[in-house]
Amino acid sequence: MRIVLLGAPGSGKGTQSQRLMQQEHIPQISTGDLLRAAVAHGTELGRKAKEAMDGGRLVADELVLGLIRERLAEPDARRGFILDGFPRNLAQAQALDRLLATLRQPLDAVVQLEVDYAELVRRISGRRTCADCGRVFNLFTAPGQLSKNEPCPSSDAPHRLMQRPDDNEATVSERLRVYDEQTRPLIEFYRARGLLRTINAEGEVDEVTRRLEQALHAVARPKAAKTARGATRKPRSPKRAQTRRGAPRRAAKSASGMRRKPATDTSAASKRAPARRAPSGARTGGRRSARRARRQTRNLRGPE
Ligand code: ADP
């Protein structure tokens, strides 16, 4: 499954993609994490990105796209991926389309996580990360996690909680402004491509995970059904495919013009296939099928 999680800072993209990563066994690719790692390692890219990040602005597209190109080329991304925090503007979304088209790996879905503005600010200002193991806590929305006093699995000592440098009040409002101005238009971009699913991302983390899973299952199901129908109705020759119902060469092409791979959820497809199969007479029509129907009726009657 290849998906994008879309949402404002603090909407829970990181938390939800980590859970999804464990369930689906596909990597979470967060441009924010990749950029923070570059900053921490003092690379040239990190030095170039730092100023924009500290100010709550977007890092230059060419830097982010370079990171994404490299990351998607790694072997673990071949089975699918969850993009978290990318794309963040129209130019990035268009570049992603082109890149995935050349890789022949079109997106399956874009899930928008919807959270009220005041709640976003509350979540971001309460966010703390353990400097040793990287686990994310929240002082306001999940204080229970901290009172458990579990030791850090990396240091075996108490977690060392740090606030991200861009989680301060002034930067947060700039990040939310940038989201509204540059990232929000992607909702329409992906809606127009039929990829958008929107979920309410407020409430318990587990509940949001359930909504996310439901949204993604709704994506997997029609795909599986399509595959099943395709298998039963496969035309005999390419010529027939071109003329059938005046839909020339429609089969198996995605919006981007690339051939889609068969749906991965083959178990669902095979379960549904028999139920969707039309009676044989209805499928083939004509005298031959009428003969077949008579023969079947005779067989059903059995020896008299
Ligand atoms: P959040 O979603 O909470 O803002 P991220 O960790 O995704 O946090 O991003 C942190 C910062 O990294 C952003 O404010 C921005 O400066 C930079 N950044 C992350 N992803 C991108 C991107 N796709 N394009 C440009 N800048 C990005």
pLDDT digits (tens, 9 = 90+) for 13-54: 999 999 999 999 999 999 999 999 999 999 999 999 999 999
Chain centroid to CA 175: 22
Residue 121: how many CB atoms within 10 A of its CB? 16
Q: Are 62 and 52 in contact (CB under 8 A)?
A: no
Residue 162 corresponds to which amino acid? M
Q: Is the model's pTM score more than 0.85?
A: no
Q: Are 22 and 285 in contact (CB under 8 A)?
A: no
Return the ∠ at Cα 4 (arms to 37 and 102), rounded to 5°.
Answer: 90
Is 175 in the active site?
Answer: yes
Ligand 1 neighbourhood includes 189 CB (under 6 angstroms): no
Residues 287-303 have pLDDT tens digits of 444 454 444 444 333 33
Distance spanning both ends of the chain, measured CA to CA? 55
pLDDT score recorded for residue 258: 32
Question: 158 C-alpha vs ligand 1 centroid, how far in Å?
Answer: 28
The predicted model gives 117-145 an average pLDDT of 90
Ligand 1 neighbourhood includes 175 CB (under 6 angstroms): yes
Is 164 in the active site?
Answer: yes
Q: Are 166 and 48 in contact (CB under 8 A)?
A: no
Using the Cα atoms of residue 213, residue 219, residue 222 and residue 223 in order, give the sign of their dihedral: negative
Judged by DSSP in three states, 3 sits in strand
Catalytic-role residue among 175, 197, 211, 223: 175
What confidence tier does 223 reach under pLDDT thresholds 50, 70, 90? low
Chain centroid to CA 258: 19
Ligand 1 neighbourhood includes 52 CB (under 6 angstroms): yes
| Pairing assessment for the beta strands 81-84 and 109-114 based on DSSP bridges | unpaired
pLDDT score recorded for residue 168: 87
The ligand 1 atom nearest the CA atom of 87: 23
